Every structure is written in C-alpha cells, then in structure tokens.
A and B are shown apart, each in its own frame.
Chain A
C-alpha cells in the first residue's frame, strides 16, 4: 500500500495537468527504509513527448547525488499518461529499475489542461511483474 499526503497527491496532479499534452514525471523522495514519501521533486521530461518520458541525464545524476547526501531514496516515481489509462505500459514495465519504489500513474486523458486528473493509481514493478496496490491519502 502507498500512504501519501494529500498535498503530494495534489502536486503530482497539478504537474500532470500543467505539462499536458506531454507526459509529466518526477520523484517523491523519503528517508531510506521509511517507505514515507516526503520531498516532492518534479523532473523535466527530456523527451518532451505525449507518449514517452525520460529524466534528463544530468538531472538524473544530480537527483541521485542529492538523495544520497540526504539519506533518501525514491519512494515514489510518478508519471502521467496523456491519452491512455493510468496503468503501466509495456515500456514502463521493461524500464522500471527501482524495485523498492511505488510507481504512481495519473492520466490526463479526460481533463487535459482544464482540471487536475482524477485517475491516480500506484503499482509495484519488480522483475517485470506489476502489482497494483491501494493508495491511502493522509
């Protein structure tokens, strides 16, 4: 299960809405081993694409350096789908490289830039196995 604060859910939704029609992406870091998402870090989608996202390489290095220095890890890795449901695609599954993270997906297919997306779902992706999990908003 993912337990996450309302403000962080709203940050993700607002980011997805803002970047639509491109996919939005980012991380919520938290203390190592805590499973607690705390620090919201919106990332630039280097692909600037409605169908693909990738953290820019220099940003990626800086992100991991910063987390290391703060004894954090990526607790949530989020991105948006802009025309399809908030479910991991084959690409998402093949590229998922943080088995400890909650992969959050939102979909802007319904509201685009007009309103925050309502679909907000969370998954574990381990060795290409996807398991959806409940989300508890605190």
Chain B
C-alpha cells in the first residue's frame, strides 16, 4: 500500500533531502510509524511527548487538515496523498507548546 508523503524543508534532514517519500499504513498513526522505521527521528518531530500530533505541525490528507478528520486516527488508503507543513506562527508572548 503506497501513500505519497510530502516532506517540508525542515524535516528533509530525516529523508536524505527528499521532498517526497512513500509510506504505508491504514491510519496516520501507522503511516508515521512506518516512516520512522526508514527515516529515523521523523516521528519525534511530528508527535509530542503526550502522544498526540504536535500542536504546531499541520498534516493534511488529500488537502484536508487531519485535525478535522480524526487526527492520528485519520484512516488512510492506497493512493492517498499526505502533506506535512510546520505552522508559520509566533508572537510576542510565550505560549505553552
């Protein structure tokens, strides 16, 4: 089962510079585990210590933000396209991440 995953610049250190990688899994969570097996460390950049998707990482499945489709439990199927984009965010007052 092949799912195309678009990797943002800042995470390409984990993919040998590749912009797009292939992965598999029947949910976003399974896909991230699969990616981490071949691109070590990538899981830690997407998932925070409490096991949820990082607040400031946006993941889209076929252009739909996964926050609205079940987050890490979002189902995936062959041919789906996943895009990872770090938030562009900041501000003058510290916020808890």
Interface residues of A, Cβ cutoff 8 Å to B: 23, 25, 27, 43, 47, 49-55, 57-58, 60-61, 64, 73-74, 77, 79, 81-84, 88-92, 94-100
| Closest chain A CB from B46 CB (angstroms) | 12
Q: Which residue of B is nearest A63, CB measured?
A: B88
How many angstroms between the C-alpha atoms of A58 and B60 in the bound complex? 9
Interface residues of B, Cβ cutoff 8 Å to A: 8-10, 56, 58, 60, 63, 65, 67, 83, 85-95, 97
Question: Contacting B88 at CB < 8 Å: which of A23, A25, A90?
Answer: A25
Q: Is the CB of A91 within 8 A of B95?
A: yes
| Closest chain A CB from B82 CB (angstroms) | 12
Tell me which residues across on chain A come within 8 A of B88, comparing CB atoms: 25, 27, 43, 54-55, 60, 74, 77, 97-98
Q: Is the CB of B58 within 8 A of A52?
A: no
Question: Contacting A82 at CB < 8 Å: which of B56, B85, B89, B92?
Answer: B92
Question: Contacting B60 at CB < 8 Å: which of A27, A52, A61, A84?
Answer: A61
Question: Contacting B91 at CB < 8 Å: which of A52, A55, A74?
Answer: A52
How many angstroms between the C-alpha atoms of A27 and B8 in the bound complex? 16
Tell me which residues across on chain A come within 8 A of B95, comparing CB atoms: 52, 91
Q: Is the CB of B91 within 8 A of A60?
A: no
How many angstroms between the C-alpha atoms of A25 and B90 in the bound complex? 10
